[in-house]
Amino acid sequence: MELFAGGGGLALGTHLAGFSTEVVAEWNRWACDTVRENKRAGHQLVADVDVQEGDVRDIDWAGVPEGVDLVSGGPPCQPFSAGGRGRAADDSRDMFPATAEVIRQLRPRAFIVENVRGLTRTAFTDYFSYIQLRLAHPELVSRGGETWGDHYARLQAEHTSVRSDLQYKVLPTLVNAADYGVPQQRWRVFIVGFRSDLDAEWSFPKPTHSAGALRQSQDSGEYWDRHSVAKSQQHGIRSAASTQDLGMRPWRTVRDAISDLPRPGSRSVLNHVIQHGARSYPGHTGSYIDAPAKALKAGVHGVPGGENMLRRPDGTVRYFTVREAARLQTFPDSYILHGPWSEAMRQLGNAVPVMLAETVALSVREHLALADARQRADQLVAEGRHLRMVS
């Protein structure tokens, strides 16, 4: 079950990891139309999904059969984003309580929740801890008139007591998507939980790519030769290599992601139309082509740093096409982004990179299978002991 699905990045990743996505819930009509349009087009990743358009708090989950393996979703990030007002619980867009309520109702074996790095800011320390406890004890709902601070204190007391309520083992992790092969420096928090009756022994997947490995590739000339870049155009990253880079693959760059696309305007590629009007000025310089992109953002015009612009070696800039931005978010080329450029870019700016979502979801799926295997082994041992006692 996918909450706050947006254009579908996290849902696509969980599906690629082997989960059968049954429901996606999203209030934005453009994002819902994206999923519906891909479903009508017969896209295998969303072929059987039920699109629930509207406020997740208004969805009736009573008809969902028991045995949900995974609830995933990225609650709105504006209450915690560095570019927002940072009102956290006082922001009406804070959907962490709603997420916990869905988990309470569905009792999934695991959940994956994603949000912005701003959630880890010092100003939100207490609320971030509250969120983790709220997700760990979804049945301990807030009482009428109870502030989140009072609820937090009660959750702390319950958490340190022996209780029989529905509980989850919760692990938050801050990661950079570039370290997992995404051609974008996108720092995000993942909060992953396993139901306490499962022996999952899970830890967050280890990084596979590094800045140092990219630096080595560029210094050796391998990167430039692979892309046939002239000497005069070779301006690599400045990160130094380290022993931690041994065995790592190079960070993927903007050039890695989009160099095989035809020129914008080609009808052979979906959503690959140029958007005019990009300009560079101090603090708004775009994403350099020979490094991972800056994190795409939902604000498509005037965002700090010009994240939605491509910057060439000569300093000139242009906006990314929707397809190029989708490549930076590792969406498949066959996936249609519905709506005008601004709305499609908003969907991509809010999305979880598909490749990163798949990496996390695949690890969760593998550990759910391991938990099942351990449970079966324990049952066999118990049955063996019983037979010996009977005999």
Domain ranges of the chain: 2-207+357-377, 209-350
Q: Which residue carries 């971030």 as its tokens? A: 128
Nearest 5°: the CA angle 251, 255, 258 is: 115
The pLDDT assigned to 45 comes to: 87
DSSP string, 155-182: HHHHHTS---S--EEEEEEEEEGGGGT-
CB 358 within 8 A of CB 177: no
Closest CA to 108 of 202, 185, 17, 193: 193
Confidence of residue 86 (pLDDT cuts 50, 70, 90): very low
Residues found in the chain: 391
Which tokens hold the place of 28?
A: 């934005």
The pLDDT assigned to 79 comes to: 54
pTM listed for this prediction: 0.91
Rounded percentage of the chain residues whose pLDDT exceeds 70: 90
CB 353 within 8 A of CB 177: yes
Domain 209-350 has CATH 2.60.40: no
**Summary mean pLDDT of the chain:** 89
CB 263 within 8 A of CB 272: no
Strand extents, DSSP E, 130-280: 168-176, 184-185, 187-195, 209-210, 249-250
CB 57 within 8 A of CB 85: no
Amino acid at 3: L
Query: Which CATH topology does 2-207+357-377 take?
Result: Rossmann fold (3.40.50)
Q: Could you read off the pLDDT of 102-127 as tens digits, one per residue?
A: 999 999 999 999 998 988 888 889 98
Output phi, psi for 113, to 5 deg. Answer: -120, 135
Say whether pLDDT at 242 is over 70.
Answer: no
